[in-house]
Amino acid sequence: MHETYHKLLDRVRDLGRLSSVKALLDWDQEVMMPARGVEARAQQVALLAGLEHEWLAGDEMKRLLDGAKFDASDEDAAVNARETRRLHERSARVPKDLVEEIARQTTLAREVWVKARDTSDFAHFAPMLTKLVELKTRVAQAIGFETEPYEALVDEFEPGARVAEIERTFSALRDAVAPLVKRVLAAKRRPDESILARTFPKERQVAFARRMAEALRYDFDAGRIDVSAHPFCTTIGGYGDVRVTTRYHENNLSSSVFGILHEVGHALYELGLPAEHMFTPLAQPTSLGIHESQSRLWENFIGRSREFWECHYAELQRAFPEALGNVSLDDFHRAVNAVRPSLIRVEADELTYNLHITVRFEIERALFTGALAVRDVPGAWNEKMERLVGVRPPDDRRGCLQDIHWSIGAFGYFPTYALGNLYAAQFYEKACADLGDLPSRIRRGDLAPLLTWLRENIHRHGQRYRAADLVRRVTGKPLSVEPFVRYATSKFEAIYR
């Protein structure tokens, strides 16, 4: 192996370590940091972002990339060089001062968003959102795009994706699922959702959340569970430190239970990336859509299945005998799979969830084409929610302020959620075919074979393949809405009869 390639790999690993330090500061801000620490934290994060950009975009990185030589048969080296060059060329187009300013503003914006959301006051957040849209527009223009600025932002999270293709996929999904949603909402046999709104003491929710994480094989020697305003998963130290958060509401059991299943799904992906390639592209997720496929698979395809609760429902009843002691497994299973138009994305059912993503996708595109002004976001949001989802938010807290993503500058992230649902359905269908009677394994609490299948077929590849190529490699077919439609139709016809 050429000496220059080794130097390139050393620099890449240093960049990964630097990014993990920033992740630790971000985690601390969400979980531990006192409110008055935000200004200093903004300066710290801006410094790290500037240094990271300097190392990635600078002339030294270009020299190492141009001079790195390796055997043509060394696929690992080729992947590391390819992905590092992609990031270098993208970063080199963006000025360092712009990167630092975005890091500083997003650190400040998170605190502004929290206050605006708590008080349901979009006007309080609007100036910051205007600033962030302006800054990210400058990023998109610097990077360049084929059709529209939003495409450059989506590419950050789903490399190679095209906005027009995403739009066609979402349209096909809406057309396929809409008749099923209509039939479900017309069904006379409705689940009793009040079951999940009884009193569930927080301390017992905390204990049960840990048990669910353990059931999914989350390694607490390499992770932890904390509380944050918006649940998330973050990687601090490669495969040895992957942390998740959730939130607890004493009158909403689903929030913590399914929140933890979702975030642990993300963590299992991170923990399954190859340790020997830590801090290199070969130990980085393929894309955010593939990442989301793992969380949605564990949360919904496993966690909302009847088989999963045949294994764990008795334990849940023991944890909350006052609330669930007289509730049958059938009634509980129906309640956690209730379909109804809802205001909050993270609590939406599987059928209407993708409509929430369409709302955000359309609004983000409009913000970056100039078709929508920031001041008009609440009105546009409410209109789209009423037209697409069937409910109109009564306030901004349950409307356009509910998600953290805009405050952290993550424009282009939302489409990966719906793509993740489709990837998950296609992967799960293939896993069922390969593993035989997977439902029986789930019923017994034997989730190890599924986790092994995911690690062998998805996790271990890191960024070796683009998302579209990985789906085709694993399933033998290109991404399609059909596996999700088959899964949803079978599931909800059985539940709603």
Say which DSSP state 277 is in: G
CA dist., res. 402 & res. 418, Å (int): 18
Q: Give the residue from 179, 301, 336, 237 showing the smallest Cα distance to 16.
A: 237
Residue type at position 445: G
Q: Give the residue from 146, 14, 120, 4 showing the smallest Cα distance to 62.
A: 4
What's the maximum distance between 2 C-alpha atoms anywhere in the chain?
A: 70
Question: Could you confirm whether 89 is annotated as catalytic?
Answer: no
CA dist., res. 317 & res. 94, Å (int): 54
Residue 237: CB atoms within 10 Å: 16
Return phi, psi of residue 226, to 5°.
-130, -175
- Of the residues 30, 158, 263, 364, only one is catalytic, namely 263
150-153 long-range Cβ contacts below 8 angstroms, 24+ apart: 150/364, 150/365, 150/368, 150/369, 150/411, 150/412, 153/364, 153/368, 153/411, 153/412
Residues 6 or more apart whose Cβ sits within 8 Å of residue 86: 159
User: What residues does 347 pair with on adjacent strands?
Assistant: none
Residue type at position 144: G
So which residues are the catalytic ones?
A: 263
